[in-house]
Amino acid sequence: MEHSETACLQFTPSQAQMLDHASQGLANMGGPQAKGAAQQARAHAHRLSATLAPPQQSLLQRFAQGSLSALLFSRMRAPAGAPPEHLPSLATLEHDSDCLYLAARNQLLLALTDYRAFAFDIDNNGKLVRLVANFKGGGHAPLAGEVPLQPAELSSHSGLPLGPHTEAPYNCSVQACHGHSPAPSALILTARWNPAGEPTQIIPLPAIIERLGGLHALALTSPSFDFTRSDCFVHGQGAAGNAIAMLQYNPHGGFSMRYNAYRFSLNERACAAAGRAFETFQALLRNTPPIPFVLQADNALLINNCRALHGRDILRDNRRLLVRLFGYSPFARPSVLNDDPLLVRG
Ligand SMILES: [Fe+2]
């Protein structure tokens, strides 16, 4: 666990109890999608924050300043109940009280670092809570009724392996540009069930960028890269992108990266230097062992989406169910469509 880019904040039993009551209260009012939940989450976070010891506070500060790739929250209370024999449908799970509780807890944990939970209009049907599981096939074991050899969509609603990536959209990282809101500053994941202990992989980027060297890093800041459209975007919305930069300077943490191993390619007009930088970056990525985090209901992983890539292997146990929220840091300047719940233009 110990790594300069990742850290673990362990709650005490009384903090865990406080967090449990607060999360239950937020879930009772409807969870992150409910009007007023964001304000309540901030109020609960404020009260919880007052009980944190200085070492716990300093971990939150490191994340808030952009100098941590990932922060694991642990020793929280978990909803009771063994995993079912089969994963219920997405529609059923979206109304499940335990999923709502975990989503509410994620919102509160985001608020502890001053981050705001939000949704993109073009992604996940405009909803703040994303349930991540094999609903659409492509996992190690076929789903009931899954047609073999039929290609599954490449998104967190399938069981396919997802190579290292930051979360879309990929147009910009901090300030809205050309009508697109920035990529999420962070994502937070917890597990409702993860019976086989299948890990979420994290690749911190600072060491890779340092090994890449100044000239290659500069080349990645040029508008030389294309990306394909994400499968989780709303039908008919969201688009592929051309000639965007992968890397930019960011005063909060030093840089912001946008990259997806299975969606990014070199633009046809890119110069040779950009091509060499792209190849070197990908080679360094292949040679960097990811840091595995096994998510369970009693922990949650907050990932800096500017500073770290994440990914996963093919899903082996189709009951694995994660609950994800996106967060914006206080520095992010999105194009806001609705304040409460926060909905932004993708
Ligand atoms: Fe992802």
Q: Tell me: the pLDDT tens digits for 255-289?
A: 999 999 999 999 999 999 999 999 999 999 999 99
Percent of the chain with pLDDT over 90: 90
Domain holding 104, by residue range, is 6-147+169-344
Residue 66 inside a domain? The answer is: yes
Does residue 145 carry a pLDDT above 90? no
Tally of domains within the chain: 1
Mean pLDDT of the chain: 95
Residue 130 inside a domain? The answer is: yes
Residue 87 inside a domain? The answer is: yes
Dist. CA 166 → ligand 1 center (Å): 6
Dist. CA 317 → ligand 1 center (Å): 18
Dist. CA 13 → ligand 1 center (Å): 31
Residue 312 inside a domain? The answer is: yes
The whole-number pLDDT of residue 150 equals 81
At residue 232 the predicted structure's pLDDT band, cuts being 50, 70 and 90, is confident
Residue 307 inside a domain? The answer is: yes
Dist. CA 162 → ligand 1 center (Å): 8
Residue 160 inside a domain? The answer is: no
Instruction: Tell me, yes or no, if the pTM score tops 0.95.
Output: yes
At residue 3 the predicted structure's pLDDT band, cuts being 50, 70 and 90, is low
Dist. CA 165 → ligand 1 center (Å): 6
Dist. CA 309 → ligand 1 center (Å): 8
Does residue 2 carry a pLDDT above 70? no
- Quick: pLDDT tens for 73-91: 999 999 998 999 999 999 9
The backbone torsions φ and ψ at residue 15, rounded to the nearest 5 degrees and listed phi first, read -65, -40
CATH number at residue 27: 3.60.130.10
Strands 241-244 and 70-74: unpaired
Dist. CA 205 → ligand 1 center (Å): 16
Q: Which letter, b or e, does each residue of 69-106 get, where b requires 16 or more Cβ atoms within 10 Å of its Cβ?
A: bbbbbeebbbbeeeeeeebeeeeebeebebbbbbbbbb
Residue 154 inside a domain? The answer is: no
